[in-house]
Amino acid sequence: GENVEQHPSTLSVQEGDSAVIKCTYSDSASNYFPWYKQELGKGPQLIIDIRSNVGEKKDQRIAVTLNKTAKHFSLHITETQPEDSAVYFCAASRAARQLTFGSGTQLTVLP
Amino acid sequence: NAGVTQTPKFQVLKTGQSMTLQCAQDMNHNSMYWYRQDPGMGLRLIYYSASEGTTDKGEVPNGYNVSRLNKREFSLRLESAAPSQTSVYFCASSEPTYEQYFGPGTRLTVT
């Protein structure tokens, strides 16, 4: 089955700096890669996703890059703000059905 | 539009007791999922239902049963709870190949 590894497990940045979280996956047939943000006491919420026919996708301050050859994908958050502080999860699947999640990254944005 | 709702929010069980976690969605989605979230391990899929009347095992199905009662509702049952089932349980729903929407979670403690 699919295995997703996520790094780092914790990340602290100064407000206004950029944050990068990286994930690798094992199943070359995976073709859907979402990123979720989870705030304390809440369920995960999708913030951006990318499919295997695209190398990069941006949405305002958030971007995701995908390298299919190396089987890794990354989340980039620019101009970080205190409200970006949360746990972020990457995931991988074939056709968005059975998601396999990474272990999560606790992002803290320091004011 | 409530999205995905889960009951109860919190539950404490003794070893060997049984209970059912309830989940309902009002987005007319065909697919529904049950995950468990443990510290440092991300979310792991327990069972999913691709459409009304069908259910399939995920990564960690042992000790659980599910029922897709109708298109809106998908319940998770613990027949004989064990301390290893102490976790936060999330229900999610989606259309196939699209974003999964998560509920707020049920925090279960088995003593």
CA closest to A1 among chain B residues: B59
* Residue B50 distance to chain A (closest CA, Å): 8
pLDDT over threshold 90, residue B99? no
Q: In the predicted model, what is the mean pLDDT of residues B85-92?
A: 97
Cross-chain residue pair B40–A103, CB shorter than 8 Å: yes
Give the model's pLDDT for residue A95: 67
pLDDT over threshold 70, residue B109? yes
Alpha-carbon gap, residue A103 to B35, rounded angstroms = 14
Q: In the predicted model, what is the mean pLDDT of residues B96-101?
A: 81
CB contact, 8 Å: B94 with chain A? yes
Residues in contact with B59: Cβ distance below 8 Å, sequence separation at least 6, in sequence order: A1, A100, B44, B45, B46
Neighbours of B102 (CB within 10 A): 24
pLDDT over threshold 80, residue B1? no
Cross-chain residue pair B43–A44, CB shorter than 8 Å: yes
| Chain segment A6-36, per-residue pLDDT in tens | 999 999 999 999 999 999 999 999 999 999 9
| Chain segment B16-64, per-residue pLDDT in tens | 999 999 999 999 999 999 999 998 788 999 999 999 989 999 999 999 9
pLDDT > 90 in chain B, percent: 86
All residues of chain A having their beta carbon less than 8 Å from the beta carbon of residue B43 are 44, 89, 99, 101
Give the model's pLDDT for residue A52: 82
All residues of chain A having their beta carbon less than 8 Å from the beta carbon of residue B105 are 41-43
Residue A8 exposure: Cα atoms within 13 Å on the Cβ side: 9
Cross-chain residue pair A1–B58, CB shorter than 8 Å: no
Give the model's pLDDT for residue A96: 62
All residues of chain A having their beta carbon less than 8 Å from the beta carbon of residue B93 are none
CB contact, 8 Å: A54 with chain B? no
Nearest partner of B36 among B81, B100, B86, B80, judged by Cα: B86
pLDDT > 70 in chain B, percent: 99
CA closest to B57 among chain A residues: A98
- pLDDT (tens place) for every residue of chain A, 111 residues total: 889 999 999 999 999 999 999 999 999 999 999 999 999 999 999 999 999 888 999 999 999 999 999 999 999 999 999 999 999 999 999 866 789 999 999 999 999
Query: Is the omega angle on the peptide bond into residue B83 within 30 degrees of 0, that is, cis?
Result: no
Token couple for B93: 């729903």
Most A CBs within 10 Å: which of B6, B9, B43, as the mutation test of the A interface? B43
